[in-house]
Chain A
Amino acid sequence: DAKTTQPPSMDCAEGRAANLPCNHSTISGNEYVYWYRQIHSQGPQYIIHGLKNNETNEMASLIITEDRKSSTLILPHATLRDTAVYYCIVRIANTGNQFYFGTGTSLTVIP
């Protein structure tokens, strides 16, 4: 199983870019990187996913290193509503629908 390592917590000033790192050094070639977030006491919310190319959508950008051993989720202009726990997940191979969420990074956006 490709596990992920994330810092337990981060702060970011409102309006600035939030850059959330994730290490997944044991990722295999056919595994995707997914990012979800969970606002307190709510269900996780899908943000973005990618295989090896950088991806961008209306919520965030995902930068994956060339060796695929790490990635960074970028929230370009953080707001107070972005305060949440952010999970970097690598899809576990050969087990169908398994998602291992880990403990994530608790992001606090400061006014």
Chain B
Amino acid sequence: ETGVTQTPRHLVMGMTNKKSLKCEQHLGHNAMYWYKQSAKKPLELMFVYSLEERVENNSVPSRFSPECPNSSHLFLHLHTLQPEDSALYLCASSQEPGRKNIQYFGAGTRLSVL
């Protein structure tokens, strides 16, 4: 148990659906991250939130919409996804932005887009 909880663990959705991924951290951290991991590919950083403000957005399509209502919760809202968006979506948190930060990851949400 890493202290970072992601729900749901598995999600199957159609291209016209709207769904949300949830991440909650119980570590008292103030930075949170969304990563995407496609099959046989390295992790790709999608979004970074620090003190509930988005500080990084790595050219992610607008069909992915993050939300960070407080330092413990992070959401990824999904709409009109494509089959190539099927991947493992990972959430992470760290104590603070900075050179020594250590990121703690959740177990991920396995997303399949049909």
Q: Which residues of A contact B (CB under 8 A)?
A: 30, 32, 34, 41-46, 49, 91, 96-104
User: Smallest Cβ distance from A60 to chain B, in angstroms?
Assistant: 14
Binds A, one of B11-19, B67-75, B76-84, B104-112: B104-112
Q: Are A97 and B94 in contact (CB under 8 A)?
A: yes
Tier of interface size on chain B: 20 to 34
CA A73 to CA B108, docked complex, whole Å: 25
CB proximity to A under 8 Å, residues B77-93: 88, 90-92
Instruction: Please give, as numbers and ranges, the residues of chain B lying within 8 Å of A104 by CB-CB distance.
Output: 42
The yes or no answer to B101 lying at the interface (CB within 8 A) is: yes
Given A97-B50, A101-B42, residue A46 in contact with residue B104 (CB < 8 A): yes
Report which B residues bind A (CB closer than 8 A).
2, 4, 6, 31, 33, 42-43, 45, 48, 50, 55-56, 88, 90-92, 94, 97, 99-108, 110
Contact between chains at A43 and B105 (CB < 8 Å): yes
Q: Are B42 and A96 in contact (CB under 8 A)?
A: no
Decide: B105 and A45 in contact? CB cutoff 8 A.
Answer: yes
User: Are B97 and A41 interface neighbours, CB within 8 A?
Assistant: no
Inter-chain contacts of B6 with A (CB < 8 A): 43
CB distance from B22 to the nearest CB of A (A): 15
Residues of A with C-beta under 8 A to B50: 96-97
Please name 13 further chain A to chain B contacts, defined as beta carbons within 8 Å, in addition to the given A43-B2, A43-B106, sorted by A numbering. Answer: A30-B99, A41-B110, A43-B90, A44-B90, A46-B102, A46-B104, A96-B50, A97-B48, A97-B56, A97-B94, A98-B45, A98-B56, A99-B103
Nearest Cβ in chain B — how far from A35, in angstroms? 11
